[in-house]
Amino acid sequence: MDRINLSDEEWVRILANLKKLRGIHIGQPDTCRRFISACLWILRSGSQWRVLPATQGKWNSIFKRFSRWCANGVWEKLFDHFSEASDLQDVSIDGSVVRAHACAAGAANSSADKEALGRSKGGFGCKIHALCDALGMPIKYILTGGQGAECKQAIPLLENVKASAVLADKAYDTNELRAWLESRGIKAVIPPKSNRKEKIECDYWHYKERHVVECLFGKLKHYRRIATRYEKKAINYMGMLSFSSVLLWLR
């Protein structure tokens, strides 16, 4: 896949998975492909919907269809189909703060908390909590405000995931998470915090493999619509995040 266009092979794979989703109106395949290509242009460039080139279609029609797909969970379901091929021998979790553009604020009939926006040391933004497999491929995301603690989202991220080991940094060193992992026979590869009273061992050789989740965030942020949040609605930003993850699975 080049920077801005889908190849024929990649489109065939996307279309095949779209057809498996129930309740989704695809319409003419060529029209659907142009729609997804327009969304890819926005995702890559980070531009406003209003400046979408006329060759890509009418920006308002593209935006409304994109929003409908977000509301119906189409992008997330498509992402889930591809992530079924995950290598779950090891999984890694981490969080990354994304600065929000001024236009991301002020969603109608909502609030910053509901739209996963908040203030942290980095300013106004949101935090992406990510789970990836042993190869660094994305599996699941949770969005919170920028001030959201990473350790509080660990168990929700790991629910229904059957892995042999979980790799995470010191931010996830909590008794609750360690007990939860132990009860499920999952190895915790988490360094202890310096202020811990009891001594806890960590397999630091194994811990080196945690770099894959850092690499995942680096890949995601090549898409400018991910690196900076412009979407007012959390579901729309999650749609962009899911779409970019599908593109990573297509590589």
What is the reported pLDDT for 2?
Answer: 60
d(CA 242, CA 74): 9
pTM of the model: 0.94
Report if residue 237 sits inside a domain.
no
The one-letter amino acid at 12: V
Task: Answer yes or no: is pLDDT of 56 > 60.
Answer: yes
Residue 217: pLDDT above 60?
yes
In a domain, 174, yes or no: yes
Q: Does some domain include residue 11?
A: no
Q: Give the pLDDT confidence score for residue 199 in this predicted structure.
A: 86
Helix (H) or strand (E) holding 33: helix 29-45
Q: How far apart are CA 115 and CA 144, in angstroms?
A: 8
With a cut of 70, say whether residue 247 has pLDDT above it. yes
Query: What domain count does the chain have?
Result: 1
Please list the residues that pair with 91 across neighbouring strands.
166
Domain holding 184, by residue range, is 87-229
- Whether 43 and 210 have beta carbons less than 8 Å apart is answered as no
* Integer CA distances (angstroms), 86 to 80, 162, 210, in order: 10, 11, 16
Q: What is the mean pLDDT of residues 19-34?
A: 89
Q: What average pLDDT does the structure give for the chain?
A: 94
Given a cut of 50, whether residue 70 has pLDDT beyond it is: yes
Per the domain annotation, does 220 fall within a domain?
A: yes
Pick from 1-10, 93-102, 219-228: least confident:
1-10
Residue count of the chain: 251
pLDDT digits (tens, 9 = 90+) for 151-201: 999 999 999 999 999 999 999 999 999 999 999 999 999 999 988 888 899
Query: Would you say 244 and 130 are in contact if contact means Cβ atoms under 8 Å apart?
Result: no
Does 217 fall in a domain?
yes
Q: Look up residue 122 and give its amino acid.
A: G
Local structure of residue 146 (DSSP, 8 states): T
CATH number at residue 138: 3.30.420
